[in-house]
Amino acid sequence: MRRKTRFVCVSDTHGYTPSEAGFRLPAGDVLIHAGDLTNQGSASELRKTMAWIVAADFEVKIVICGQYRLLKQGQAGNHDITLDAPFYNSNSTKFQNKHIEIPQECLEIVTNASPSVVFLQHQSALVRLRKAGGPNTIFKVFGSPYSQCDGNWAFLYEAHEAEQLWRDIPLDADVVVTHMPPRLRCEPDNERSTERPGAAVTGCVGLRERLRAVRPCLAVCGHVHGARGYERVRWGSSAAAARVGDEGENNHIEDEIVKGVLPPRGSKKQSLVDLTGKRAPRLDNEGLGFSRAVSLFPSSSPPDVVILPSRRPGLRLDLAGISRLNAVADTDAEAESADLEQIRTQRRETCIVNAAITATNWPHHGGRKFHPGPIVVDLELPVWTNGRPES
């Protein structure tokens, strides 16, 4: 049995509250913030952002952080930089020489904000919704702050590292949240917009190909301000299409892409994406694999979120801040097993959403502008009752 679960998706708020950015958060079950919580990563910005996230009326709020944005003439923004503690400790004076922050304190602003906040640092979580009157559904989510770029910046990886990095997305993830967009998915026409004339394509090939392998129900990203929108991707089925190629640009030719239409900037209409079959065709994705990890939930009392440890302990991420939930053995150790391959065969379609709120890029000629607000996604997920998901 499945039931509609409403995800309200935002990204790239850059320290602005909903009222400052000119929108209201609609009602929903899960709030997703796909990174760039702040402009400078300061403790004051983080407190301001987490205050409105905590106050928002959602049973669960899934949050990742973002990173730098390359600007021009060698300059770069340093959004959420303090949440990458090792990098910040080595480079703080380059970015915040007037006031040096304490990374652990900044991290705790996010991790200790509220039991409803699920802060993911390149790791997975099992989530079951049990609020009275809510959908009572269950799903597995993976979240990561990493973005691709050459150089030495917070939460960055280079192109040759992409395939190995994104293999950490488990094959049974139902929802994937990344700051980086996948290559040629939810990007404007080669990112050659009036905001960034002549700019190159920005998404990650390795991320796109891992999404092709995993085929989650929903993938949420941000980072590219001019790319707000959504696409429904029916994945190609050939063996060649499932591999990460050297160039990657031709690996997507068998995919069927339907680009969604949302209300334009300035509209008061809600940006709603229906995947339930009520207003648009139902998402063709039946392979939910969370049942392999049902035993990880306590039999009676909360928590109703179980954060799984990162499969890549060598990453430059400080996981010490996650203390309110007990880490448990990740069930993805045999991620390439036959049962997960069976799940994959039932996953034919993914909805990819770029949920950027900020519409313009630095230096914001004519003033900073914002998109109409969150992208709201209605998705059917299995119902959880009596300690087990209903069949």
CATH code for the domain in which residue 158 is found: 3.60.21.10
- Give pLDDT, residue 285: 96
Q: What is the mean pLDDT of the chain?
A: 79
Residue that wins the pLDDT comparison between 359 and 297: 359
Domain limits for position 337 = 2-389
Mean pLDDT over 41-56 rounds to 93
Band of pLDDT at residue 247, cut at 50, 70 and 90: very low
Amino acid at site 312: R
DSSP H helical ranges for the chain: 18-21, 43-55, 85-95, 103-111, 162-166, 205-214, 338-345
With a CB cutoff of 8 Å and minimum separation 6, the contacts of 235 are 212, 215, 241, 254, 255, 347, 348, 349, 350
Number of structural domains found in the chain: 1
Q: Is the pLDDT of residue 32 over 60?
A: yes
The reported pTM is 0.83
pLDDT confidence bin for 158, thresholds 50/70/90: confident
Residue 310 has pLDDT above 80, yes or no: no
Vertex 190 angle, CA 184 and 194, to 5°: 140
For residues 157-176, average pLDDT: 92
List, for residues 65-119, the tens digit of each pLDDT value. Answer: 876 443 333 333 345 555 455 555 555 555 555 566 677 888 899 999 999 999 9
